[in-house]
Amino acid sequence: MRAIDYVKEASDYIETSDGTRITASQMCERFLFNGTMQYTLIGKLSGGERRRLHLLKILMTAPNVLLLDEPTNDLDIETLKILEEYLDEFKGVVVTVSHDRYFLDRICNKIFSYEGNGKIHIYTGNYSDYLIYREIQGIEFEESKKESVKKDDSITPKKEKPKNDKKLKFSYNEQREFENIDSDIEKLESKIATLDESTSKFSTDFTKLQEILNEKSKLEKELEYKYERWEYLNNLADEIANNK
C-alpha cells in the first residue's frame, strides 16, 4: 500500500476550526511526505517515517482527545517539532505522560502531579510554572513548621522523604539530539548567512528574492527551535551530571 492511500483510509480531508479543508495530500506535505514520498510503498519507508505516517493517520480521523505516552521516546526530532506545531492549533484535549520538560512546557496548560498515597495535585499552568509553585509552597511549608515548633514544647522528629532511586538520564533520542545539536545549529547559521549574501545578488529579481526570504524565514524558525532545545538539553545534562 502507498503512503497516501494509507492516510486516506482515515479520511480524504480534515476541517480546521475555521472551516478550512486540508486534504490528505496537504497533511502529508505538512508531515514531511512530499509528492514523491506520498506514492512510496509503506514497506520502503524507514521506521521513523512509518511512525510519522501512523501518527498522521490518527490525526486525519479528527480526534477530540489525544493520548500521548512518552512521545519524545518514540518520535524523531523533526516529527516532534511538527506535532508540537499541529497541537498549537488543535482544539481538542491532549493528555500526555512525558519526562521531557520542554515538551510539557510547549503543549501543556494543566499539570496533574501524583504525590503518592493516592493524592493528585492539579495545577493550572505549564510544567516550569508548576516547579516554581512547588518551590514556593515548599518554602512556605518550612516556615509554617518553624512557627509551629516555637509554639510547641515537644518537637516531633522530622520524617525522611523516601529516596527516589530512579536515575535521571537522557532518552535515546535526546542523547542523539544532544550529540548533534551544536553541529545542527552551526549548519543552520551558515545557511542563513549564505541566504543573507544572496539577497543582494538577487535584489532586482523579485521572484527569486521572495523565495530566498521565505527560505530564510523558515530556517530562522528552525534555528530558534534548535536554540530552545539546546538550552533544555544542556540544562538536563547538568542535572544528570549533578545527580551521579
Three cell numbers written together for 221 = 524558525
The yes-or-no verdict on residue 65 having pLDDT over 90 is yes
172-242 is classed CATH 1.10.443.10: no
Please give the pLDDT value at position 25: 93
Q: Cα(171)–Cα(152) distance, rounded to whole angstroms?
A: 48
Which secondary-structure segment (H or E) carries 140? helix 127-151
Round the average pLDDT of the chain to a whole number and report it: 82
Structure-model confidence comparison of residues 148 and 96, the more confident one: 96
What's the mean pLDDT in 26-34? 91
pLDDT for the residue 95: 93
Specify the pLDDT at position 16: 76
Q: Is the pLDDT of residue 89 over 70?
A: yes
List, in sequence order, every residue forming a beta bridge with 78; answer none if it has no partner: none
Look at residue 6 in the predicted model and tell me its pLDDT: 92
Q: What residue ranges do the domains of the chain occupy?
A: 3-107, 111-150, 172-242
Distance CA 87, CA 243 (A): 33
| Predicted structure pTM score | 0.57
Considering the domain 3-107, what is its CATH architecture? 3-Layer(aba) Sandwich (3.40)
- Give the pLDDT band (50/70/90) at residue 142: low
Residues 162-172 pLDDT 10s: 455 556 777 77
